Structure 1
Amino acid sequence: MTDDRSFRVGVALEGAGWHPAAWSHTSTTNPADLFTADHWVRLARTAASGGIDFVTLEDGLGLRADGFGTAADDTGRRVRGRLDSVVLATLLLATSDIPEVVVSRNVTHSNPFHVARQLASLAAVGPGRVGWRPQVSADARDATVVGGPATPALSPEDVYVPTRIARRLRDLFRDAEEYVHTVRRLWATYPAEGLGQDGGFWRPERVRPLTSRGEPRYAATGPLPVPVGDPPPVAVLAHHALEPYRLAAAVADRVFLTPTPEHPMTELLTALRQIEDLTPQATPTLRYADIAVVLGDTDGQAQDRLTRLDGTVGTPWSTDTLAFVGTAGRLADELTRWRDELGLSGVRLRPAVLPDDADRIIRNLVPLLRPPAGTTAHPRPGGR
């Protein structure tokens, strides 16, 4: 694979890592470190210096659980809390050279005016370096925590049956579509050219509230108090269900696709194209793979790491996407194939353990995807 910066590599930062047992296997030993600026700044700076194009930050309203219907009051050996994603993004933008921070923000239990203002403020702090992932909350516990509107109580069976989850979550995702449209319209109420020139602070004729659109679900009017010169791109995480794909087709600039052995990437891309064809005013969307990773110097070492992680929990790791277990070389081959044969624009990698797997991504994977200018990466021999 020749050097091609158009294939973007992102790392999803989340707690001590994405595996439920990550805390018991991370090199971080003090729980309080996960709530300090130094910890997150170090991750972002390492990612930036290692050629990572973007990091993503998760959002959440209550204590995290391992899955739908799982209580958070276990033995205390798993990470349950997290910092606010907007506050954390502000920190990383101001203290690191990471090219982009993609901020997840709950759209089921929040107000679009507030989110539009928060993201506009981030875009002012880091022009061209902010992305937004609208996050639909399908967990009934979130509604309980914040006193918001009730959401469906989902079971694991619901989550893994596409027709069932689509039926239960249809209204939530359609609300999310209107929410994103509302945020974008609010961003347009105070364009960058609304700022003054020739000694004036602002140009009132360029700053306008929203015009009426009948009886919308979100009746924000604006205008925003923050000028928006470079609206953040919208990234949608599309799980294996019709409604997330519809949301991606309707509003996304980027879509994170979650392949599995049962649903390979080719199948997901075909489904997305079909839904885009059926979606009025579908937006042009860049396709990204979104996979979890457990890396090792050999495939056997990576498998041993996963076995130890699963042994700590007592059950095999169950994720909403492919969990790649193996060497950086084999992962580079797969990502190269997806890029060359399927036209993917990039990948978001979820490290099983932080910073361990993130360090392997930076040290072992990125150089294979981006060899020195003027050289070509050749296939690696079997065994890697």
Structure 2
Amino acid sequence: MSEPLHFNLFTMNSVEHVSPGTWTIPGDQSHRYTDREYWTEVARTAERGGLDAIFFADVRGIYDVYGDSRDPAIRRAIQTPSNAPQALVPAMAEVTDHVGFAITRSTSYTHPYQLARELSTLDHVTDGRIAFNIVTSYLESAAENLGLEGRVDHDERYDRADEFMAVCYRLWEGSWEDDAVVRDREAGTYTDPEKVSAIDFEGEYFSVPGPHGCEPSPQRTPVLYQAGSSDRGREFAARNAEAVFVSQPTKAATRDYVTDMRERAASHGRDPDSLKFFPGIVVITGESEAIAREKYETYTEHVSVEGTLSLLSGFLDMDLSELEADQPIEHIETEAIQGAMNAFTTNDEREWTVGEAARFAGLGSTSPVIVGSPEQVADELESWREEVGVDGFNLKEVTRPGTLRNFVDLVVPVLRERGLIRESYERETLRENVLGRRRLADEHPGRQM
């Protein structure tokens, strides 16, 4: 039997995520993003399908690069309006027992002491089902809304992130001993103060004496996701990530990325095989290939070109309204998402024009699209594992919750027949289910603090 693949639903607590305009498809329920019952239904469906986690993207600010205006993003609901993802977790956890929750939080605009407490709390109330997707915010509008004069430079954002994680590791891993909580009723001692230590962290960006305000949660440190694509981002991911979210448009580009990241992880003294790789993927399926193709045609008819260009302009930090549709996208070193820039300029031999990028990115942004019957989809997913060396996928939505339902009801049974997805959850915590261990690996820098 083949080693099972791992799957996350990649979503956002907003109307649109990365398939602009698809909220207009008849029957789509994206407008229910404010409805608690919508999200509890999503959680139940994901767990029924054996998915590892619901992976929540998030963004600060509004996309306002395209046409030097926020109006297109607001008009087309491009990740606006949106709500905080972590607030959904308790309700979703209450109706499930196993599926995890990956929360995107920015190291640029959050304090590590505060974040460590929030994620420890969520890990407690979910019995160890929390992951932290580590990002550095890229929108200029986000910095301005948080009282800064402008966005922090790209590499400095990662310098801050390095220090941010050092603080979190010391709080999560080093501040409380495993047996610090004694609950001795006779002595009236709840926690042994000799087993709780200050971290006394002094750095360039943070000064945190500690100790951590929370007792150790089931995982201590949440499962760590990261999606670094620039050289600096890859170094950060190679040092910190346990699971890497890959945003590349082709198998060849993904294979090169995986190889590079494993080499970088080894250079940091980590086991390169300890990293799990999750490319983003869009799956459009039906009971037959013909039905799937018909769905694809319908979906593409509803894609908003203006919305897609607004999203890409924010990703690239390049106003695409200034270019004609047949003009090529030229490579620049961007202060936004360098990986998105690389996807269209350096990761394969083709030259992408603005129009081609808009058409390609309308369903799932920079990720490939698989269209076919459940058997064809399973074939393609398996080929990615065999040819590229990935461990699983982040499933990007087109219709909501239709993409998830179709995958669970149609594709998952085929995957289970082939031993490519779990029949049931055999372990307790998210890290155990994804990585086979309860704690950070011994060689992870978080265990060295």
Which TM-score applies when normalising by structure 2? Answer: 0.71
Could you say if the C-alpha distance between residues 63 and 217 of structure 1 is closer, same or farther in structure 2, counting changes exceeding 3 Å? same
Asked if 1:332 is matched to 2:378, the reply is: yes
> What residue number does 1:289 align with?
279
Q: What residue is the counterpart of 1:217 in the other structure?
A: 205
SS of residue paired to 1:321: coil
**What is the DSSP-based 3-state SS (H/G/I as helix, E as strand, rest coil) of the residue aligned with 2:179?**
helix
Write the distance in 1 (CA, Å) between the matches of 2:98 and 2:161. Answer: 28
Shift of residue 37 of structure 1?
0.9
CA distance in structure 2 between the partners assigned to 1:134 and 1:337 by the alignment: 29
Structure 1 equivalent of residue 70 of structure 2? 71
Residue 43, structure 1, aligned to residue 33, structure 2: no
SS at structure 2 position matched to 1:60: coil
TM-score, normalising length: structure 1: 0.82
SS in 1 for 2:227: strand
C-alpha deviation, 1:371, in angstroms:
1.7
The amino acid across from 1:227 in the alignment is E
2:167 corresponds to: 182
1:361 maps to what in 2? Answer: 407
Task: Please give the alpha-carbon distance, in whole angstroms, between the structure 2 residues aligned to 1:204 and 1:67.
Answer: 55
Query: Which 5+ residue runs of structure 2 have no aligned equivalent?
Result: 306-357, 420-449
Give the aligned CA root-mean-square deviation in angstroms.
2.9
> Map of 1:1-16 to 2, 5 A cutoff?
2=1, 4-5=3-4, 7-14=5-12, 15-16=14-15
Q: Which residue of 2 aligns with 1:205?
A: 194
The code of the aligned residue for 2:224 comes to V
Deviations 1:260-285 (A, max 9, x none): 13843321212212333444668842
- 1:136–1:172 Cα contact (<8 Å) kept: yes
Contact 1:291 1:322 in 2 (8 A): yes
- Which residues in structure 2 correspond to 1:21-170 (within 5 Å)? 21-25=21-25, 27-28=27-28, 31=31, 33-63=32-62, 71-73=70-72, 76-78=75-77, 80-148=80-148, 150-151=150-151, 169-170=154-155
- Partners of 2:172 and 2:42 lie apart in 1 by 30
How many residue pairs were aligned?
354
Choose 57-66 or 327-336, whichever is displaced more: 57-66
Mapped to 2, the partners of 1:133 and 1:335 lie a distance apart of 23
Residue 243 of structure 2: aligned partner: 254
Q: Aligned equivalents of 1:95 and 1:273: distance in 2?
A: 37
Distance in 1 between the 2:65 and 2:391 partners? Answer: 30
- In the TM superposition, residue 68 of structure 1 has moved relative to its aligned partner by 10
Between the aligned partners of 2:71 and 2:91, the Cα distance in structure 1 is 28
The answer to whether the 8 Å contact 2:61/2:140 transfers is no
Identity among equivalent pairs (%): 19
Letter in 2 for 1:54: A
Change (3 A) 1:263 1:340: closer
The letter for the 2-side match of 1:108 is S
Native 8 Å contact 2:282 2:368 kept in 1: yes
1:63 Cα deviation after fit: 4.1
